[in-house]
A and B are shown apart, each in its own frame.
Chain A
Amino acid sequence: MIRLEAITLAYPTRHGDVVAVRDLSLDVKRGEFAAVVGPSGCGKSTLMKLVTGLVKPTKGRVVVDNHTVNGPLKIAGMAFQNANMLPWRSVLDNVLLPLEIVEPFRSQFRQKRASYVERAEALLTSVGLSGFSHRYPWEMSGGMQQRASLCRALIHEPALLMLDEPFAALDAFTREELWCVLRDMWQRLQFTVVLVTHDLREAAFLADHIHVMSARPGRVIKTKHVAFEKPRDLDVCYTPPFVDLVHELRQDIAEVRTS
């Protein structure tokens, strides 16, 4: 599904060129859940933009769905640490936003609005937001906004979901709740996910493969397969193999931070 081939990205700043990533290679299969972890400033967010075609690599090639990426992808759903809900739209209208932009939904939006609303309501119900569709984002808690943000990222049934630390601003309980929400959606809809995070437990709980990135200029220095049976229960986080995995990842990152 996604292949990054020896990507280098440099961008000019006032203090000369900064190399964000160098020789970055990454492979994600269709339907796979990939997590990317690394020290802060290692170019994790740059990786997001590279994959979605929002920035072009200086060197190397990005391949998504067997096509070289030359501009914005048009098929990806994205969610960020900040829910980024539009405050003048109700939750329902926020979730419907991608359908007003992505074809083929866009041209049929007027005729098929009723069925789209039904779809959005079903999606909102699946993340525990039934009955909230006519509220405004600012009437809801951060966790609820983030649930709605996930719905917005998935309403057009994208083949690819890109998540940039989506749960980082939430409290521990809400975060674990949303891990399960995301797990269930992924089990059900089978899209490809790239999750950028600095939470190693989050990566280990959700992902099939965890890619560890080096300090800037970033590249993937290690890929770890996560073998726990799926769908996983939160209890898996308290088993010795899970703790060992998180510990191992932690040491990897500690090493790249000091080197």
Chain B
Amino acid sequence: MTLTIDRLAPWIFTLGLFAIWEAACRLFNIDQFILPAPSVIVEAMVRYYKPLLRNGFVTLWTTLAGFGLAVSFGLALGLLVGWSRTIYRGLYPVMIGFNSIPKVAVVPILVVWFGIGEVPAIITAFLISFFPIVVNVATGLATIEPEMEDVLRALGANKLDIMLKVGIPRAMPYFFGSLKIAITLAFVGSVVSETIASNAGLGFLMTQAGSNFQMPLVFAGLMALAIEGIAMYAVFAALERRMTGWAVRSSQSAAG
């Protein structure tokens, strides 16, 4: 009984939210231009499904391209930073400084360098999403139990052995956990860039629709973004469960 409710809860809440939204729009007679009701948004989604699909696809692939770059670069940098304390100490302030720059501010520079289009979107997605991957991988490596390290060193293991046998497998739950965060950030990056300087993508579509006062289409674009974001999050959450299920189960078990 509780299990079915547990499973249905996300749907119930989502549908409930939309129901309240719809009811509020009708009850208070809210102007479509201020806040379109869900039914109006769905209508717009159906009517404009072609441009939504086309631009949604552009956003999806630029996001995934930027995210892919972030994964390879973030993993490599994370391993490097987690490997040595010196590199960690040297790079950390630089990375913090870099991460605290609002990425919106970088987009104009990218446009000057690469022109308007998909490249700035890919790079913005990459820039905004690599940081959590680096930090998580480095944390996973840096928190090896000292006793485990002693056990291996007393067997004659070198640093590489310790990393391969303990450090990297141990960092994997952190890595896969960070992918969920990174993919949502990557969407933020690509859409920000599309909004500022682009001629395709959901961000571009929404800016255009906004300047034409087509509010239902703006919200339809938002909806498409939400769908893409949730779908990608689900993919990486499933991947995490599959790859590092031991981490979840071991923390649940009583034996610890």
Contact = CB atoms under 8 A, between A and B. Distances in A.
Contacts of A219: none
Contacts of A145: 255
B155 A102 contact: yes
Contacts of A190: none
Interface residues of A, number: 36
A72 to B, nearest CB: 5
A86 B167 CA distance: 11
Nearest to B245: A88
**Interface majority SS on B: helix, strand, loop or mixed?**
helix
Contact of A101 (B148, B165, B256): B165
B250 A98 contact: no
A104 to B, nearest CB: 12
Contacts of B250: 87, 136-138
Contacts of A103: 156
A72 B246 contact: no
Interface string B86-116: 0000000000000000000000000000000
A76 B249 contact: no
B154 interface: yes
Interface in A121-165: 136-142, 145, 152-153, 156, 162
Interface string B161-203: 1000110011010000000000000000000000000000000
A87 B251 CA distance: 10
A134 to B, nearest CB: 14
Interface of A: 49, 52-54, 72-80, 82, 84, 86-88, 97-98, 100-103, 136-142, 145, 152-153, 156, 162
Interface of B: 145, 147-148, 150-157, 161, 165-166, 169-170, 172, 244, 246-247, 249-250, 253, 255-256
